[in-house]
Structure 1
């Protein structure tokens, strides 16, 4: 019997796919001699659609990009090994007994993760340990494995969706347009920055691809483990669960990327040419906000803080007193005292109906910062920006170009672009909008302040605050 088991182990590696780690299903053979399941090879090539197709093991490029035909001889060999394996397993079922006491394993030690017989329990080695019948321990672990399998399946689908959508934010186009504003003075820096973006996007795509492959592998292992006999399942269940938990704990960075900073030399200095002196409109203030006497600061009141646990706690904001219907404008807002904030513009869209009637409706373009625990997140409305920040942004610059129509947000300290709405077809006057919240529970609300025209921010200024 031992010789049969040894021979089975040697044959098992010859009929196992190196991608899914399972018996071949419709095996195909590449010109380099390596074998794979037809579906596994197809999925692997689809995931690497932007790269040259190659063998997943030796990376040799195939002579044809079409999938090879099924290797019928290898398929028959796989079927024979599977049947032989089943026969060997049936013949070894009676060997699941304690070699020391000669009794059948009926119990399981939770601390040592090992099966026991009744005689083993009487020894001092397992004294005080949690011991339960195999019939109770195996279903518990089987249920945990099944739950983990479902959880991995959900996150596998999410990772696949993120891989397909990872190019929604077109950083290359936005950054390229910023460099064009500076024209030939920063051409060398532009090339370096664009190359960095390309490499980071490629690295993120590789991480997502790797996560998909890992999740797929874990799914198959969990599925196989769920079909094992009780004792075999208990041998590897804990290790498999720990590996799965570890993989899930690492997925946050892959799913929600960090907002990268791409400093553009001379950017803020150029935008300061369009700096506008602005104040807030006291007529737009609600009971949830209070504006300073000089109309340059706004902060949340206790009334808003009382709404924190209500489902209808909306974003309360104050409008600027100025309106813009042409030209270019730039202003900066100090948000270092507010961990959560919203900035943007408010306008009215005009839409012609049938005949001479004109329909109007309110619309806004917003950038929002949210704090969850010790992490900061930035998002756009409307838009596809949803990233994590390295840390709080002390000052935000806003640049409005009425025609051809764009709205850009900048990290003033880092001299870098945060996000850009473009193109926008403005049809009515525009008013900047400011929201210093919602305030965090248990904290004293701070002010959101319009920066004076002659104020400038650098790293030493922020570190001294």
Structure 2
């Protein structure tokens, strides 16, 4: 019997998978001769971080495709299972109770000991759960096999987690994410460029039609001027009314609407350069600064000014000055229908209460309110557009090294205008103008947004 048990152990080894340590299930054999369960080998290869190889000898297979099931090895595995069951049944007769001289056919679940029929009649095991050996052994064997599989899974998880701790794994994973992000941005860029191309084409068509209409009407006016007096008088009123109509359409035809082209992740990227800025009350002209030095409001003295065009150069400067680096700040302009933002690329001086620096050194983004809507333009720049809706918050990004200044619509995550300022000298100072206020209205504040404040569509109404 011992020889049979030894032979059984050798046969069991031959039909055991070295990955799951159980009998083969759909065994496949690699070219190197080693065999594994089909699912075990597939899982092992899926988790591999390097070239696929035999889990036992590490030889690289000729093909990465799994081989067909080895039917002969599968049949041999079934034979070993049956033979193993027969050997186990035959070895049970060798164990018997020394006290009663009977074979152990029962098992005490509580004491975890084999029993014969005579043992069950004693008071020692009274009330205990007693099961036939033929039922208890397969149940415990199944529990042990389940536990073995669970331990194997935990082992593979630990192996996978250990592999993930390598710097190479994280480098590759992060690189893949950047490539994915790059692909997404390239796709978004293509869509945006195509949209701009179509809108430019439509605007070109409108301007061409507008020009043609003006030319035709100009010829009619010339023709009318050559008519006899009575003929001229009959059509004069109609021609004048049409002239007024054509002239009134000029603004909407010539001045384009400022389009919004959202750039995913733009504001999040700029926020890494966010600077906590405060105002310098000593530099204020025709405005008042709040106690926390974050808000500025136009005063009543503003209404007495004579030159409305110069009104956009009254305001206040920030306390901070910049001569290098990158800086980003946001300004809440939801309470001011007209405003100006920008930088003053020079040292700011005051003499007798008046500025002595030249206005030409300023660069401003200016918003103006008119009867038919809002208009936005730049001082020292080419922007001159209408706004579909007011902009509640403006982001300003200064990159001193390349002499550039950019303005953003924070809510729409889109660029308003960007200019490269080659006239930067020593210091650059941010500038804020909360006006001029509209006649008959109470001036509202322009506010510097704290570093930790963020704007979304749901909070615009409360801004």
TM-score of the aligned structures, taking structure 2 as reference length: 0.55
Distance 1:311 1:279, change over 3 A: closer
Partner of 1:332: 330
Structure 1: distance between partners of 2:306 and 2:439: 7
Q: Secondary structure at the match of 1:330?
A: strand
1:421 aligns with 2:434: no
Structure 2: distance between partners of 1:443 and 1:433: 24
1:393 to 376, 388, 391: 391
Partner of 1:367: 365
Q: Secondary structure at the match of 2:398?
A: strand
Q: Secondary structure at the match of 1:348?
A: coil
Q: Quick check: which has more Rg, 1 or 2?
A: 2
1:408 to 391, 406, 427: 406
Distance 1:235 1:441, change over 3 A: closer
Q: Secondary structure at the match of 1:199?
A: helix
Partner of 1:272: 271
Q: Secondary structure at the match of 2:212?
A: helix
Structure 2: distance between partners of 1:299 and 1:375: 22
Once the two structures are TM-superposed, the CA of residue 329 in structure 1 deviates from its matched residue by: 0.9
Structure 2: distance between partners of 1:247 and 1:230: 24
Q: Is the 8 A contact 1:404 1:425 kept in 2?
A: no
Once the two structures are TM-superposed, the CA of residue 235 in structure 1 deviates from its matched residue by: 5.6
Distance 1:343 1:201, change over 3 A: same
Distance 1:348 1:189, change over 3 A: same
Deviations 1:392-445 (A, max 9, x none): 111000001111121000111111111111253533121111111111221111
Structure 2: distance between partners of 1:330 and 1:259: 22
Distance 1:393 1:214, change over 3 A: same
Which sections of structure 2, spanning at least 5 residues, go unmatched?
1-180, 348-356
Partner of 1:259: 258
Once the two structures are TM-superposed, the CA of residue 227 in structure 1 deviates from its matched residue by: 2.4
Partner of 1:219: 218
Distance 1:313 1:451, change over 3 A: closer
Once the two structures are TM-superposed, the CA of residue 311 in structure 1 deviates from its matched residue by: 8.5
Partner of 1:346: 344
1:291 to 278, 289, 299: 289
Distance 1:224 1:348, change over 3 A: same
1:200 aligns with 2:221: no
Distance 1:369 1:198, change over 3 A: same
Partner of 1:247: 246
1:379 aligns with 2:377: yes
Q: Secondary structure at the match of 1:367?
A: strand
Q: Secondary structure at the match of 2:205?
A: helix
Distance 1:405 1:257, change over 3 A: same
Distance 1:223 1:360, change over 3 A: closer
Q: Is the 8 A contact 1:342 1:367 kept in 2?
A: yes
Structure 2: distance between partners of 1:296 and 1:234: 63
- Matches of residues 41-120 of structure 1 in structure 2 within 5 Å? none
Deviations 1:47-82 (A, max 9, x none): xxxxxxxxxxxxxxxxxxxxxxxxxxxxxxxxxxxx
Partner of 1:105: none
Deviations 1:235-260 (A, max 9, x none): 65555444444333322211221111
Partner of 1:114: none
1:458 to 449, 452, 456: 456
Q: Is the 8 A contact 2:289 2:295 kept in 1?
A: yes
Deviations 1:187-233 (A, max 9, x none): 11111111111121222222112112111111112222232345554
Distance 1:360 1:375, change over 3 A: closer
Deviations 1:311-335 (A, max 9, x none): 8756212111111111111110001
Q: Is the 8 A contact 1:365 1:381 kept in 2?
A: yes
Structure 1: distance between partners of 2:379 and 2:185: 31
TM-score of the aligned structures, taking structure 1 as reference length: 0.55
Q: Is the 8 A contact 2:312 2:340 kept in 1?
A: no
Partner of 1:304: 302
Which sections of structure 1, spanning at least 5 residues, go unmatched?
1-181, 350-358
Q: Secondary structure at the match of 2:271?
A: helix
Q: Secondary structure at the match of 1:344?
A: strand
Distance 1:377 1:362, change over 3 A: closer
Once the two structures are TM-superposed, the CA of residue 183 in structure 1 deviates from its matched residue by: 4.8
Once the two structures are TM-superposed, the CA of residue 365 in structure 1 deviates from its matched residue by: 1.4
1:431 aligns with 2:425: no
Structure 2: distance between partners of 1:413 and 1:312: 29
Structure 1: distance between partners of 2:230 and 2:390: 52
Partner of 1:447: 445
Distance 1:422 1:235, change over 3 A: same
Q: How many residues align?
A: 274
Deviations 1:252-303 (A, max 9, x none): 21122111111111111111111111111122223x2211111111111122
Partner of 2:321: 323
Structure 2: distance between partners of 1:454 and 1:388: 31
